[in-house]
Chains A and B, each alone.
Chain A
Amino acid sequence: MPDPLIEVHHVGKKYAKSLKHAMAYGLADIAKSAFIPRRYRSVDFATRLASIEEDARAAAPVALRKSEFWALQDVNFNLGAGECAGIIGHNGAGKSTLFKILSGIISPSTGSIAIRGRLTSLIEVGSGFHPMLSGRENIYISGAVLGMGSKEIDKKFDEIVAFSGVEEFIDMPVKFYSSGMHVRLGFSVLAHLEPEIMLIDEILAVGDMEFQKKCIDRINRMREENMAIALVSHNMHRIESLSDFVIWLEHGKVKMRGDTQEIIEQYRAWEIEKYRQALEPARPGGGSGEKISLHKVELLKSDGSPATRFGYGEDIRVRVKYEARERIPDPKFQLFFYTDETLVFVASMLIDGDCPEAIEGPGQVTCTIRNPDLLPRVYEVAASIRESSGIVDLVDWNRDAHFSVTSEGLDTIPMDGPCPVGLLMQAGIVHQDYTWDLDAAVGLGAEGCPTDE
């Protein structure tokens, strides 16, 4: 088996929270690193790596000084040629720190990293550019900064310019370029480095559609030529479609690592759970009007047991408990289902016309949603009651209850495509049954879909 292009052993990184401490520790570290010599290390790579590993195993845990925290702790993984590692996690989970260590900009506090081949990172786009100089001059400067010799650049120059699509303006100072042109030229230089490894922190968000497509095509082509990729993205669909495996970072630690689909599913479930917990304390209890009060909105499974988690397609019953202070004829009950700020659907007596003849005193109304098509997310339910004409609210509605849909039962959806989980999780709120009519698709039979190899 060939050696992996990236080997990460027990890598950790600590930072100081306060600037004052950061400065003090920085000076202390400088003094320490300059004046405390250690023993000599073997020139031979394998021996060196072995001794580093040994050190990493044997090393006493590096202590945190006051106000320091671990931005990254004990991260291990290997990345082979042609592989793509998806790295997911919330903001501040350590993704950028990991990338900075991989590209050598900062050094780890613990552990070691071996990198075989030329590594480049998409954040380097346009590095070294000087606004006052022309595009032509900047290609040479940026190329040199990224590690290309001028002969190499001479050879690729026309290709770089053609790819960037800024031929017309190549002798104009970069200062007068639009931000899109700037990025295009920068990426073009980067792409022609022909790196063995590329770090991508969110696919280029600049440049027009056409150029983004060009970039992705270029990245895909380099991948076919066995380039390894480490990809950070919040877009689960991208992660799923590109990654061979996923590393999930949380508070600087690897929370989970492994199969792409499985981890994305778990990540989504975790996100939902976190969101649900965040909702908990903020929830106001019911609402009160002049004539009637809403006491509670309850969620029940079809067997009547209260629940907050439902599988995909599982019946959901919503029970509204109220107390009418006087006799109210023809009250109209309504339920609103939200996810984030989006109103997903309404169950309303104003639509269907059902309603009790009259209510007085305490009571309850239950609504059953049959086989809902809601995809895994957190949903909030708001209830309101209107008087018989449907114009005046008797009780203001509140988002009183919430429930989450889990991925359980998702397997009833046909998922034979290349990236079902990420897309289902990310793209929609509901899933509808659908079929394709392929009879008129020229050149392909109904079964003619090429399979992934």
Chain B
Amino acid sequence: MNTITLYNASNEERLSWRAWSVMFRELAESRELINRLVMRDMASQVRQSFLGYLWILLPPVATTVVFSLLRQANIINVPMADDALPYALFVLVGTTIWGLFTQTTIMATSSIAISGDLVSKVYFPREILIFSATIRSVINTAIRIGAVIAGFIIFVYPVTWQVLFIPVLLVPIVFFAVGLGLFLAPINTMMHDISRMLELFFQFGMFLAPTVYPTPVLAAVDSSWKMLLYLVHNLNPVSHVIHAIQHILEHGTIYLDSGFWVATGISFLVFFMGWRFFHACEPLLAERL
């Protein structure tokens, strides 16, 4: 017997507990389409471009160079602890991780609106667009990690085997970012302001995480402004992951504080709630594009 597809006005199916099995089944069935879309967009990203994949490397490298020069010239004063990474490596690591978070969020959020043409012509589970955007962002980050490794080699900075755990530590960031994307993408189909707002916010948001300066140490907080930065950094789940990764690089040991576990928990919660939310409002996506 043929497969039966049902469309009806009530949204109950999408809200029942059974929706989870539908969501996972749809995801499993569309692995191939996700692969195709990722390959399509990766390939088209670099065709008709002379520097190709190099463009992906440039943003964190440029930020690193600029901030290193500013600090070298004493225009900005960023005190670093004695056992900390060299400042250039600190910025390179921080911006690469922050980039993973921001890029994933932005790409996931705008993925549906960008593919509006496709969405309004063919039906397929729309999550696919979000997940393929996510995979692209993860691949971009993998390429950037190549630049980070090159940085460590240039600075002849020794690391231990524990660095191999770093990719695992990045997982919560990805889930957090996709979760946000799943919440924001449906809204972004109606109000394109969302993705623009995100871009603007993330540009300044770089200062709300330990990317170009370390999180103030609580014992050394001597002004209410520093206290504010301390609080903001600690409320930002991404900071905790960056802390953990910096710890591995600086001390060669894995140290996951409670902040990291809370951040991880929040990330997965945001992801599953976001997915659920997205699935519930999927039928509304095409008509208001």
Query: Which residue numbers of A lie inside 8 Å of B, CB to CB?
Result: 5, 12, 15, 22-23, 26-27, 29-30, 33-34, 36-41, 43, 45, 48-49, 52, 55, 62, 100-101, 103-119, 121, 123-124, 127-128, 130, 132-133, 137, 140-141, 144-147, 149-150, 173, 196
Contact = CB atoms under 8 A, between A and B. Distances in A.
Contact of A150 (B16, B32, B123, B124): B32
24 contacts: A22-B190, A22-B288, A27-B190, A30-B280, A33-B283, A38-B12, A52-B6, A100-B286, A104-B5, A105-B287, A112-B9, A114-B4, A116-B5, A117-B2, A123-B121, A124-B122, A127-B117, A130-B40, A133-B44, A141-B36, A144-B33, A144-B36, A145-B122, A150-B32
B18 A40 contact: yes
A26 B284 contact: yes
Interface string B1-34: 1111111111111111110000000000000110
B120 interface: yes
B85 interface: no
Interface of B: 1-18, 32-33, 36-37, 40-41, 43-44, 47-48, 117-124, 186-187, 190-191, 276-277, 280-281, 283-284, 286-288
A146 B283 CA distance: 18
A109 B15 CA distance: 17
Contacts of A23: 190-191, 288
A29 B281 contact: yes
A93 B236 CA distance: 52
Contact of A113 (B6, B10, B14, B37): B6
Given A48-B6, A103-B122, A144-B33, A41 B284 contact: no
A30 B187 contact: yes
Contacts of B18: 40-41, 43
Given A15-B287, A114-B4, A149-B32, 19 more contacts: A33-B280, A40-B17, A45-B4, A62-B9, A105-B121, A106-B283, A106-B286, A106-B287, A107-B9, A108-B7, A108-B8, A108-B9, A110-B9, A115-B4, A116-B1, A130-B41, A141-B37, A144-B32, A173-B47
Contacts of A39: 12
Main secondary structure of the interface of A (DSSP, over half): mixed
Contacts of A140: 36
A198 B37 CA distance: 25
A199 to B, nearest CB: 12
